[in-house]
């Protein structure tokens, strides 16, 4: 039986084009879109299972990380929910999976014409580079899974994330559920059409999984962070191993990718508390 890991975000869900729609505090919009997010996850799993039987672990990876509606999901999967998880969007990804799906994903911070584009915490992270290349959430997470030999098979979201990830993971399959017009607008499929596309693409992704490769970053790995503010950088710089390379710039080098990823998560958490108003 294939072991499938699924990390689901929300901003790349069909129809989503504003923060209100994916903000758990919003009592009118969010309940609608969390349902569509859940149904897209279900479609990806059902599509995969048309190709072969799959044992599935889903990691709820958006905001407070308890978005998924369990009654919209298949009965026989495991779901990681709750905030926080130390490994965030790739929690549990080291458990020996054969492949990974990223659903509802979005482009990285700074990308033009990309709905709700950001990288993890935009109040802390203005830019993230690995060995000199700008990495978005999909690439950061793919590289973590790659260290454990897990290839990314499927990415769903807007055209911006699909195009950006395709350049680095050409073996993956992409279900583009919307075309971003700008940061707050998109030309989207309906939820029903998106679900059909995701299921079909997931099936293809699993059928072709023999061609997929883990995304590996060669060591030594240099993480460069441009933080959103000097006060964030003041505290991130206290972490042993981080070198301050400018008012808002920090650098961390490790022999392999996992410690660099761990440093990024730690920096983000520390930066978040520094970003709170004194
Ligand atoms: Zn999100």
116 Cα to the center of ligand 1, angstroms: 9
- Band of residue 278 on the pLDDT scale cut at 50, 70, 90: low
Q: Using CA atoms, how far apart are residues 202 and 44, in angstroms rounded to an integer?
A: 5
CATH for 2-107+137-211 is: 3.40.50.10780
Write out pLDDT tens, residues 13-45. Answer: 999 999 999 999 999 999 999 999 999 999 999
Q: Using CA atoms, how far apart are residues 13 and 62, in angstroms rounded to an integer?
A: 11
53 Cα to the center of ligand 1, angstroms: 28
Q: Between vectors from CA 159 to CA 158 and to CA 162, what angle results, nearest 5°?
A: 90
Other Cβ atoms within 10 Å of 138 Cβ, number: 29
265 Cα to the center of ligand 1, angstroms: 15
| Mean confidence (pLDDT) of the chain | 97
Residues of the chain with CATH 3.40.50.10780: 2-107+137-211
252 Cα to the center of ligand 1, angstroms: 25
Residue that the structure tokens 């055209």 belong to? 159
| Bridge-based pairing state of the strands 173-182 and 152-158 | parallel
Write out pLDDT tens, residues 209-229. Answer: 999 999 999 999 999 999 999
As assigned by CATH, the class of the 221-275 domain is: alpha beta
pTM of the model: 0.97
- Tell me the mean pLDDT in the region 184-199: 98
Share of the chain above pLDDT 70, in %: 99
The number of C-alpha atoms within 13 Å of 117 and in the hemisphere containing its C-beta is 26
170 Cα to the center of ligand 1, angstroms: 23
3-state helix, strand, coil split of the chain in percent (to 5) is 35, 25, 40
Q: Using CA atoms, how far apart are residues 258 and 75, in angstroms rounded to an integer?
A: 33
271 Cα to the center of ligand 1, angstroms: 18
């Amino acid at each position: 039986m294939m072991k499938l890991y699924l990390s689901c975000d929300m901003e790349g869900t069909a129809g989503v084009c504003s923060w209100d729609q994916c903000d758990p505090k919003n009592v009118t919009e969010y309940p609608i879109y969390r349902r569509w997010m859940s149904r897209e996850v279900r479609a990806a799993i059902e599509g995969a299972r048309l190709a072969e039987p799959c044992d599935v672990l889903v990691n709820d990876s958006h905001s407070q990380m308890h978005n998924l509606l369990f009654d919209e999901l298949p009965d026989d999967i495991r779901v990681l929910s709750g905030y926080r998880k130390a490994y965030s969007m790739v929690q549990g990804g080291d458990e020996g999976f054969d492949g990974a799906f990223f659903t509802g994903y979005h482009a990285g911070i700074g990308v033009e014409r990309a709905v709700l584009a950001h990288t993890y915490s935009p109040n802390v992270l203005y830019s993230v580079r690995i060995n000199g290349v700008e990495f978005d959430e999909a690439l950061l997470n793919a590289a973590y899974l790659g260290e454990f030999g897990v290839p990314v098979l499927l990415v769903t979201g807007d055209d911006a994330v699909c195009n950006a990830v395709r350049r680095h993971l050409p073996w993956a399959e992409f279900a583009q559920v919307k075309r971003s017009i700008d940061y707050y607008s998109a030309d989207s499929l309906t939820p029903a059409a998106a679900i059909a596309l995701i299921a079909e693409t997931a099936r293809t992704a699993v059928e072709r999984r023999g061609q997929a490769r883990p995304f590996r970053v060669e060591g030594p790995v240099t993480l460069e962070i441009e933080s959103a503010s000097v006060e964030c950088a003041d505290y991130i710089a206290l972490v042993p191993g981080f070198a301050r390379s400018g008012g808002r710039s920090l650098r961390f080098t490790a022999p392999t990718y996992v410690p660099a990823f761990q440093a990024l998560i730690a920096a983000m958490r520390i930066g978040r508390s520094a970003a709170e108003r004194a």
